[in-house]
Amino acid sequence: MVLDSHKLIAASGESGDRVQFTEYIQKNVALYQFRNGIPLTTAAAANFTRGELATALRKVSILNPYFVNILLAGYDKETGPSLYYIDYIATLHKVDKGAFGYGSYFSLSMMDRHYHSGMTVEEAIDLVDKCIMEIRSRLVVAPPNFVIKIVDKDGAREYAWRESVKDAAVASA
């Protein structure tokens, strides 16, 4: 979902936790902007998200996490684009490429082979399409439809859909 004008959050995992947690982060990021007049940087938003996950992890003194894995992408005017990998037990790492779930086994390998820094948008979409093709052909439980969203200096937005099962449109967050 769109976190703010220049940030995207992709979440996978337990459906209740996923919606609850990402909406909570989204509202808190907005609150910061209202209170302080400037938006959070991507790094700050990532660290805030990690902090919330880490706090929830030990709240009842035993492992009780939000079962949500997150990839947080953003564009900052000073530092450019960045991507953060945050898993459900609050491990935070800044990465160039990331993936979660069963499809990650195929996507990560695809990206290891074809990714290089300084790719153009066209090359990146091409790589994403390659990953989607791999998932579609290799994963038994492959989802039929994909959405591609993008963040750049002009903001965060939906870029394209890759649908193989045209269904009634699902309302997006």
Partner 1 sequence: MMMQIFEYNGSAVVAMVGKNCFAIASDRRLGVQLQTIATDFQRISKIHDRVFLGLSGLATDAQTLYQRLVFRHKLYQLREERDMKPETFANLVSALLYEKRFGPYFCQPVIAGLGDEDKPFICTMDSIGAKELAKDFVVAGTASESLYGACESMFKEDMEPEELFETVSQALLSSVDRDCLSGWGGHVYVV
Contact residues toward partner 1 (CB under 8 A) are 50, 54, 57-58, 61-63, 85, 87, 89-93, 95, 98, 104-105, 108
Q: State the nearest-atom distance from the C-beta of 95 to partner 1, in Å.
A: 6
- Nearer CB in complex with partner 1: 21/85: 85
- Nearer CB in complex with partner 1: 59/77: 59
- Nearer CB in complex with partner 1: 9/53: 53
Q: State the nearest-atom distance from the C-beta of 90 to partner 1, in Å.
A: 4
C-alpha–C-alpha distance, residues 97 and 110, integer Å: 11
- Nearer CB in complex with partner 1: 59/166: 59
Q: State the nearest-atom distance from the C-beta of 44 to partner 1, in Å.
A: 14
- Amino acid type, 26: Q
C-alpha of 92 from chain center? 13
- Nearer CB in complex with partner 1: 73/156: 73
> Which parts of the chain fold into alpha helices (H)?
15-36, 42-57, 104-114, 121-138
Q: State the nearest-atom distance from the C-beta of 104 to partner 1, in Å.
A: 7
For residue 171, give the DSSP letter.
P
A 10 A CB-CB count for 117 gives 5
Judge contact between 87 and 99, C-beta under 8 A. Answer: no
Cα 117 to Cα 23, 27, 123, 131, distances in angstroms: 31, 32, 11, 17
Q: State the nearest-atom distance from the C-beta of 91 to partner 1, in Å.
A: 4
Give the tokens for residue 28: 């808190």
